[in-house]
Amino acid sequence: MKIAIIGAGAMGSLFGGRLAQAGEDVWLLDVWEEHVAAIQAHGLTLVDTTAETSIRLNATTQADDIGPVDLVIIFVKSYATPDAAQTAAALLGPATTVLTLQNGLGNAETLAKVLGAERVVVGTTAMGATLLGPGRIKCGGQGPTHIGSFSGGANPRLHDIATIFARAGIHTVVDSNVTALVWSKLIINVGINAITALTGIPNGQVMASAETRELVRLAVAEAVAVARASGIPLPHTNYFDQVATVAQATRDNRSSMLQDVTNRRRTEIDAINGAIVAAGKRLGVPTPVNETLTLLIKTLEQTYLS
């Protein structure tokens, strides 16, 4: 299968590298010229606890280099989704599927407006990765990937994608309840991302002290209350335990928001904790902890983005 990955940061590179290792025709597309040049020259290096592996695959900064593909995977930050949708439009063939594995709310809706809802597949992943430098990423944890049709109709490509991912070592489940999937991932991100970004700790330490555990508990409880007020049929009853499980499974990983803050980049706070605050205001559900976390991250961003 010919696959284009838009957004070759830590997670996009991880998926691209694994899929290329499994024999798929993979193209990484990213605006970071130094990263792309390193991959073109030396391959993509995947670092794990036991070894470093160099993988040869296609990488470019220009969508015109790629041509039509069978599958587009979107891994850009949520605020870049409108631009990614326009880029993906240039890669479409008659039967191209577009899969979003992004954080936050609203990405699938943005893609569907430009590309058509019938093409869009929504997913979440518990895989973890950290960008070490141009052409180098560290694998940061294993976890399942779930995918489902955004339109709710049958999509024959879903099982093909799951099979291809499984061959690449990415355990993937086809799921019919994609809205609940996205909200479940959002709630887990609410419990990890902003807290790690503000404190500088890896995922495994968010449950290491009574103070951070309480922050997690309060932030997650607000997110669950908003989800329930929205009528979302959440698949788990105890999301504090779910956060603890994910944090332990990715204990050495630095969350994407922590990586953004470390590298002085704009974060996805508006699509994560900020999305809980916005939905809470619409629904009349108080979200003071998530509002505080959102304001703290925005204050931190202003110290390096202004």
Q: Which residues are catalytic?
A: 185
**Cα–Cα–Cα angle for 25, 253, 48, rounded to 5 degrees:** 55
**Calpha distance 264→262 (Å, rounded):** 5
**Calpha distance 55→46 (Å, rounded):** 8
What is the Cα Rg of the chain in Å? 18
Nearest-CA neighbor of 3 among 117, 110, 93?
93
Residues 6+ apart with CB under 8 A from 274: 290, 294
**Calpha distance 183→167 (Å, rounded):** 27
Q: What b-and-e string marks burial along 116-138, b requiring 16 or more CB atoms within 10 Å of the CB?
A: eeebbbbbbbbbbbbbeebbbbb
Main-chain dihedrals φ then ψ at residue 260, nearest 5 degrees: -65, -45
Residues 6+ apart with CB under 8 A from 272: 103, 104, 186, 189, 190, 193, 194, 257
Q: Which residue has the tokens 């709630």?
A: 187
Q: Order of strands, edge to edge, in the sheet holding 172-174?
A: 58-60, 25-29, 2-6, 69-74, 92-100, 120-125, 145-149, 172-174
Residues 6+ apart with CB under 8 A from 211: none
Taking residue 156's Cβ as centre, other Cβ atoms within 10 Å add up to: 8
